[in-house]
Structure 1
């Protein structure tokens, strides 16, 4: 067995070593505290030196790179670029002299690269003096001067780099607790179970929103005189403070939204992602709604979109019929068993073909008898066959009078706007007669007449009134 290596612990600085020996006149605890303070002070000073030296070396390296660029311009004899550079350096020097804040912030031990270049240019111009020198002589003087400064900077960079390496080596030699111990996991993620949004129909949602008005209630409050009323109020305030706030309402998803979004899924992955987001849609009722959309698309000869709807509807049917784990079972069989996938695709194709054939037949029937489509009308029914029917027809006195209130004038105008044969049906006073009149007009006109009757209060049925556009009696010729 190889011996354990304890050499990595040799670099740890200990301020409270038990084996430390101090002078008898010096308190050991105080000595340990002073030593600890000295260790921390030296560590901070070393970090500050390393940071300052790194910035200084970087600034010097940048200055050398700029000097190389200027020297190349001088060697090429590019007078325009040299004059532009010299003007920039002079403006920078003037700006530093004019701005006291820049002088206060600038450090003489760590000047920036631009500061060093501007000072070099100023020193060379001082050496030239007030001599009436030509531009070529100035460029020659700058070439020799900048080259000399570059050599000095290169030597300084080498020396500073060695000092920086020595400081880094000393830092690595003296191990601190910060280098041995590092934070591991400082973040925790808790996955909360997302509640599936409620699924409602658009009609139910509209009915719910229309009945949100809160009824006015009268509340009787009994007042009891007690001692220490201030204490009682404080306790009640604390009790109210800890009352848990109600949770925000769950998102509501309508069936129409589900049908549109789910039928537009691009592939199986998008389909499964949507089902995992809204697991409540795995229901045959949703599948039926999607099949209805497929039939509507078939009626306008959108074969590809109808096929997609049939495909999505049958996925929901299969998943719903396979039980609680129907989604995972369906996916496993669909992806792993080619025969199961082929059977599923065959059923989708067969149902799509039936829908398209039936849609074609209906389209041909409508083309052969275009008036039959226009005569689709409204028929009124009640959920209770024995419910009393009240048909209110304005009296002859109201219709013949000229002095009426605004409400009576409105009722008179609505009644006279109805077709004459429909007014005669209202005067008979039976629901069958009214339905016969409805059957004589197209669907759009029937809806308009029904709205007029509702607004004027001409038809009132006790209980629930059902508007059925399918139960249409034989159409007779409209009466004039």
Structure 2
């Protein structure tokens, strides 16, 4: 019988391979990997400091015990120092137990999993697929071809919930156990969240993490991902509290990343739509009529709002010539004011010139 306990605590927090560009950003999991590395480095420092303190304590105790064998005048002081050191040694021993417990409960991951204990883990080992050195264009083409061919099957898997059903389906459709499936599910989750289909996103997110777990396990064991389907689902169905908590934590973090990325994409789409709308309404002189209107003095705004040309002429005539020319030229360049159509372009001066001239009479 396979001893699954050897890998029951595997921390799946990152995907270190290059992902398809449609994933939006290759740093989708990178920050979790960095946090994990920092935790490991901090723990290693604590361990080294602890070992240093233990050795120093042992050295001092041995030194005092040697001195106590001789008849020295400050025996009481040395006995007290020895007592303090032994109390410290007891605390260090207690910390030893805490460290062992922490090591035992810390999930394995990509940086710690390759240990000799795995040589005894029995798994149906299929040859690991060769890694192809593809360009981004080739990866994208492969991804499009994969989706076109298997999208219906991908959606069926994404909508499953029961582990037994998922296991059976993947065993019958082994071609789905790959990075392309994981990438497709991530994209689908983002799109669902952008469409405000939050419950459905969470449903598909669960299947995404299941696929990520299988791919990560295959990476750690250096086997074909298809060999890990049965092992993963057997493990997750009989998972102890720690393993299940690890899975749930990863799922929660993934859903939060999806929500954040979807919100960013919605904001980007809105900004892009606003810019397209702005470009579409630019006048013949390249100015935005909305921006120009907002910059007009209130008295000119009233003229345009009322579409009252006589009032506009009267208002312009009362303004200083330079100011009138400035505002009316911007109105023409933005398309807010169109010069009379029956005038030739050579002498088709906007209304502000006539109005400004009349103001000087």
Superposition TM-score tier, normalisation by shorter sequence = 0.3 to 0.5
Tell me: higher relative CO, structure 1 or 2? Use CA pairs within 8 A at least 6 residues apart.
Answer: 2
Give the structure with the higher percent strand.
1
TM-score, structure 1 normalization: 0.25
Bigger helix fraction: 2
Q: Whose Rg is larger? A: 1
Q: TM-score w.r.t. structure 2 length?
A: 0.32
